[in-house]
Amino acid sequence: MAFDDGKEAAFMLVTGIALLLGAAILTPLAVVALRRWLRQRALAEIQPRAVAASAGRPISLAGVAAPGPDGAIESRLAGADCVWHGHEVLRHYWQWRNREDTGERERVRGCDSIADHGSTELFGIAPPAPAARAGIPVLVDPQGARIEDADMCLQRVVGRPQRGVPAPADDLLARVKGRISGVFRGETIEFEYREWVIRPGDPVVVEGQVELRDGHPVLTAPPGGELRIRHIAPEQPQEPPRATDALLLGGGAVASACVGLLLTLAAV
């Protein structure tokens, strides 16, 4: 009987030590998972300190557009309040070409872009939750950025002046930023003005690289790449990071340590 009790005590001791060793292995893994979750949550809340810690590395942030250091700006053509605006001027024209099947000449419609501009003023990206918006937001440098799905706030078509006919009212040409350029082929039909904006509070996703300017994080284009700014629909919420791995590893470490300690103490 005493022999059986000895075997049982030895088994409990070995099992307890094994569980304690398992807890020792799981504990650092749980700490790493916890730190990873805390960092992901801080980035999801767009905390400047957490974003600054990612300096020099690619990053993707989801939040809402906010005015930059100089406040909201005004779009060039429509005069809309925004944090970013871009416009393009298209020239529609007639040109002649030979048909491949018959060789006959036919008149076809063509279109060229003769002006294209995007604003370069810094703007902010703030946390999606209003309660977390405090202090200076993380900034975005949109120079040379690829803008996707911005709202079109203006589209106006202006016919070309006709001889002997007053020119149509066109107060947009003087507002076009930059130089009107391009090869003016064929016969002009009309000019088309289009403008897009991102307004304060619009949900956006910004993908780029973190750069520190005077100690403050700014999202810019990575070397050899481009900054990507996507205007997303309000019904596309970003799923918050989960602490599943940290909880499972931490719970496993605690359970193994407790059971292992109890078995070890019972065995001795």
Write out pLDDT tens, residues 129-163.
Answer: 664 555 678 999 999 899 999 999 999 998 876 66
Q: What's the chain's average pLDDT?
A: 77
* Tally of CA atoms within 13 A in the half-sphere of 246 that contains its CB: 14
Q: How confident is the model at residue 65 (pLDDT cuts 50, 70, 90)?
A: very high
Q: What's the sign of the alpha-carbon dihedral 246, 247, 252, 258?
A: positive
Average of pLDDT values for 87-111? 85
* pLDDT top residue among 156 and 42: 156
pTM over 0.75: no
The pLDDT of residue 56? 86
Least confident of 2-6, 67-71, 132-136: 2-6
Class of residue 156 by CB neighbours under 10 A (exposed 0-12, middle 13-18, buried 19+): middle
Average of pLDDT values for 110-127? 92
Beta pairing, strands 138-140 & 216-220: parallel
The pLDDT of residue 99? 77
Closest CA to 192 of 109, 106, 121, 119: 109
